Chains A and B, each alone.
Chain A
Amino acid sequence: MDSLLNWITVNQQIIYIVVLMIFVGIEVIGHVPSVLHTPLMSGANAIHGVVIIGAIIVMGKAESDNYLALALGFLAVILGTLNVVGGFVVTDRMLEMFKKKKK
């Protein structure tokens, strides 16, 4: 119990961010029309590609004789980039079609 409370105190900044972000996330998309559900999901999918940052850090920190870490990091960078780039491009392609009808 003590260690848990201690952990909360030590990490309170992060915990505040988490709680606030949950509310922001809910608030921000609260009124989305059903037409946009798919592009929104796809856009959110691209945003969680931010995990690539972690992959870059793992890769960049790996000692050059630590082959397993190098391999894992390299694979993670590829997959993370796929998520980010693919995600944003697919979303843009979906939304491109929405734009046309605005004319």
Chain B
Amino acid sequence: MELNILTLCYLIASVTFILGLKMLSNPATARNGNLVAAAGMTIAILGTIFLYTDSDGHKLHNYGWIFGGILIGAITGTYAAKKVKMTAMPEMVSLFNGMGGACAALISAAEFYHIYRNHQGSPDTPFHDLVPVGFYITIVAGAIIGTISYTGSIIAWGKLNGRVKDFSFKGQHIVNMIVLALVLVSAVLAYRSDIGNIYLPFILIGFFAFIYGILFVMPIGGADMPVVISLLNSFTGVAAACGGFLYDNKAMLTGGILVGAAGTLLTILMCKAMNRSLTNVLIGSFGGGHKAGAGGAKQQGTVREITLSDTAVVMAYANKVFIVPGYGLAVAQAQHACHELEKLLEGKGVEVKYAIHPVAGRMPGHMNVLLAEADVSYDKLMEMEHANDEFASTDVVLILGANDVVNPAAKTDPSSPIYGMPVLDVELARNVIVNKRSMKPGYAGIENELFFRPKTSMLFGDAKKVLQDLIAEIKNL
């Protein structure tokens, strides 16, 4: 009876996962979709704790440990998720993903140890006599994929918050391949070892997978981290599914595979939004290796600076203003000031809209979330295609901390690393005012020719401070 109820719990959980994902991909139902999936997860967890019986009919024990662990995890997780700043959301997702990967790897390690311990008495038995190959593959795949996902996510997290710098060396891809091969060799070795000698190869599997996760993410540029996180996310899904195989657990299996498949597709969709292929992202030119060449690009002409009062005049007397937000806006937490400027200008009869590039900021949708936080109305946010149709009839484009997404080199310079990425055609507008903190290149590490165009003027400073001063200036007009 109890087992039947548990089966039902897992069935409900699997359905809610599918339903949740479905609802998450539609703006109107997204929030409920998340709650539906969370409810299903709760059912599955509670069912496991209270109803699970193993093949010998034993119930779970160690309840103190289980509840202790859940309590610690739940409190820390909620606290971290509630406290994190909007700008740091992507890092947080990466970190949580890493936790999931580590969890999957630990499960595999524990199972491995379980087999080892049960057969300690006969150290000469070959391991492959004890474990069928299919079972072994799921254990070892869970360990490998989980570990790679863990270290990869931690590096991605470090890159997004600037603690880890891009790093690559010549022939890195070959080294990566070798390390990956070493992982697989260790896995085969472990399977062929006697039970008494299995420790070393198993530790080597973990060690090489650990290194591979680091090397895999290290050379990929920070701007591509969302894609990498999405990919690692689907890795963790597969690792979780391995656990499902191991325990013949359908909820883990469906949940894991679902995320593995959806995550992979999402990764490809994200790449498409940048008009690049996944291979290009993973081994492509954004990687630090080419940065020096592209970053040292020729300085074309001179940069023109504009004063705050001039900016105020130009904007207050314009008919139509477009604001192009970027990561700089997020870093400066200037979304509220931005909304205030928008209201002020509207009060003066200026038409104000936002042009949102699909990959502006550090994650797709980053800007939408940020501006929504400041109560900016949804219909003011224009997607790239629509915005591009309107730039020609725009008086002023105000760029707030965006760089690569407005770089005309993506259209004109085939040698540019971002060549082919769709960009906002801001140069069609009558005036372009760029707010940046300095002339430093953007995340892709390349010069932006736009800043040297005659129509462009620069307004240096922190986005929030500049906007506040600008608002004061306009009020004084």
Q: Are A28 and B262 in contact (CB under 8 A)?
A: yes
A contact patch SS: helix
- Minimum CB distance partner of B232 in chain A: A45
Contacts of A72 in B (CB 8 A): 106, 109-110, 113
Residue interface mask B381-398, A partner, CB < 8 A = 1? 001000000000000000
Bound together, the chains give a CA A77 to CA B261 distance in angstroms of 25
**Given A29-B266, A38-B369, A55-B103, are A45 and B97 neighbors across the interface (CB < 8 Å)?**
yes
Q: Is B415 an interface residue (CB 8 A)?
A: no
Q: How large is the interface on B (under 10, 10 to 19, 20 to 34, 35 or more residues)?
A: 35 or more
Bound together, the chains give a CA A10 to CA B248 distance in angstroms of 12
Segment among B34-42, B299-307, B311-319, B344-352 that sits at the interface with chain A:
B34-42
Q: How large is the interface on A (under 10, 10 to 19, 20 to 34, 35 or more residues)?
A: 35 or more
B3 CB to nearest chain A CB (Å):
14
**Given A40-B24, A45-B93, A51-B239, are A97 and B37 neighbors across the interface (CB < 8 Å)?**
no
Q: Are B62 and A48 in contact (CB under 8 A)?
A: no
Residue interface mask A26-63, B partner, CB < 8 A = 1? 10111111111111111111111111111111111110
Q: Is B92 an interface residue (CB 8 A)?
A: yes
Q: Is B73 an interface residue (CB 8 A)?
A: yes
- Minimum CB distance partner of A7 in chain B: B134
CB<8 Å pairs between A and B, sample of 16: A21-B254, A29-B265, A34-B383, A38-B365, A39-B369, A40-B21, A41-B266, A43-B30, A48-B100, A48-B237, A48-B255, A56-B52, A72-B113, A74-B65, A79-B102, A87-B93
Q: Report the 7 A-B pairs with minimum CB-CB distance, sorted nearest first.
A: A81-B73, A60-B60, A25-B261, A77-B69, A86-B77, A89-B81, A32-B25
Since A45-B96, A101-B372 are in contact, a sample of 14 more A-B pairs with Cβ atoms closer than 8 Å, ordered by chain A residue number, is A21-B261, A24-B261, A25-B261, A26-B265, A28-B25, A29-B24, A39-B30, A44-B233, A50-B240, A55-B69, A74-B65, A81-B70, A86-B80, A97-B369
